[in-house]
């Protein structure tokens, strides 16, 4: 019988947890624990970092984990790299459940940048009304561009005031709709959207809204990761587990 460690923190991980519970495959869902009030889950949950690669190796051994599924966010590069290394060290099969990256389509006006520092650099220039839709973690990195008005959409109320003199916080964990995002962008007179290339459907509405309003998007590319077995569908994870 498998004993799955599911690295989560995403909509996809929660959906996989549900599928594993329904298939009666024993699994533990792991969160970093940054979000307050995490969603109730149908499988046991553990919370907190493992303590790097060595900690994850210990966890895998101590809990007799047979399979690791990495369903973390595509920007959680440290966790994903640790999982590749700890699984290699312990001989534990690893699969990643990922979302294909978003691609620009007709009507999109994207400027792609390699990472967050490049996005910050690209914001030099005249003051704008910027929707900074990148989560809480990296907001402080935009402090060198204080002259914009920033709209920050966050899952939780920030504990510290963001270091951006002119900002508005909207607390919402979604799911979001295109119509609501169009209304939000209009209400805040947004003229630029900054986004990570997260992929998936959970937060694509801001891109659809930007397209509908003819707004440019500064799109931050994903970090690179070590090679690993990567699938996009829950059914493929279940097939892999049963093989």
Residues in contact with ligand NAP by CB under 6 A are 7-10, 30-32, 34, 49-52, 55-56, 72-73, 75-79, 82, 135, 137, 196
178-187 vs 205-213: helix crossing angle, rounded to 10: 60
Q: Based on CB atoms, which residue is closest to ligand NAP, 35 or 238?
A: 35
List the end-to-end C-alpha distance of the chain, in Å, as a whole number.
Answer: 11
Q: Based on CB atoms, which residue is closest to ligand NAP, 10 or 145?
A: 10
Q: Based on CB atoms, which residue is closest to ligand NAP, 58 or 108?
A: 58
Q: Kind of pairing, strands 110-113 and 129-133?
A: unpaired
Whole-number Å distance between alpha carbons of 218 and 231: 27
Q: Which residues contact 187 (CB under 8 A, 6 or more apart)?
A: none
Structure-block tokens of residue 187 = 């209400």
The nearest distance, CB 76 to ligand NAP, in angstroms, is: 3
Half-sphere exposure of 7 (CA within 13 A, CB side): 30
The nearest distance, CB 198 to ligand NAP, in angstroms, is: 7
The nearest distance, CB 4 to ligand NAP, in angstroms, is: 13
Q: Based on CB atoms, which residue is closest to ligand NAP, 79 or 213?
A: 79
Q: Based on CB atoms, which residue is closest to ligand NAP, 86 or 182?
A: 86
The nearest distance, CB 233 to ligand NAP, in angstroms, is: 18
**Nearest Cα residue to 236 out of 12, 9, 5, 11:** 12
Whole-number Å distance between alpha carbons of 106 and 126: 27
116 — phi, psi (to 5°)? -65, -45
The nearest distance, CB 155 to ligand NAP, in angstroms, is: 8
Q: Based on CB atoms, which residue is closest to ligand NAP, 38 or 216?
A: 38
The nearest distance, CB 9 to ligand NAP, in angstroms, is: 3
Structure-block tokens of residue 117 = 């520092």
Q: Are 30 and 5 in contact (CB under 8 A)?
A: yes
Q: Based on CB atoms, which residue is closest to ligand NAP, 8 or 199?
A: 8
The nearest distance, CB 127 to ligand NAP, in angstroms, is: 26
Q: Are 31 and 96 in contact (CB under 8 A)?
A: no
Structure-block tokens of residue 110 = 């994207």
């Amino acid at each position: 019988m498998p004993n799955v460690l599911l690295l989560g923190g995403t909509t996809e991980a929660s959906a996989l947890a549900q599928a594993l519970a329904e298939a009666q495959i024993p699994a533990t869902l792991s969160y970093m624990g940054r979000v307050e009030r995490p969603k109730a889950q149908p499988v046991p949950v553990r919370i907190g970092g493992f303590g790097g690669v060595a900690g994850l190796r210990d966890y895998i051994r101590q809990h007799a984990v047979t399979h690791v599924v990495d369903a973390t966010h595509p920007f959680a590069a440290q966790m994903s790299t640790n999982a590749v290394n700890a699984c290699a060290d312990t001989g534990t099969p690893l699969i990643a459940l990922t979302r294909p990256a978003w691609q620009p389509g007709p009507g999109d006006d994207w400027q792609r940048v390699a990472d967050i520092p490049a996005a910050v650099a690209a914001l030099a220039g005249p003051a704008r009304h910027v929707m900074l839709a990148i989560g809480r973690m990296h907001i402080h990195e935009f402090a060198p561009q204080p002259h914009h008005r920033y709209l920050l959409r966050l899952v939780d109320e920030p504990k510290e005031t963001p270091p951006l003199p002119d900002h508005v916080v909207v607390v919402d964990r979604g799911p979001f709709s295109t119509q609501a995002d169009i209304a939000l962008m209009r209400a805040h007179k947004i003229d630029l959207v900054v986004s990570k290339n997260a992929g998936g459907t959970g937060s694509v509405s801001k891109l659809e809204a930007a397209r509908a309003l003819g707004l440019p998007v500064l799109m931050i590319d994903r970090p690179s990761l070590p090679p690993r077995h990567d699938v996009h569908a829950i059914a493929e994870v279940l097939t892999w587990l049963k093989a």
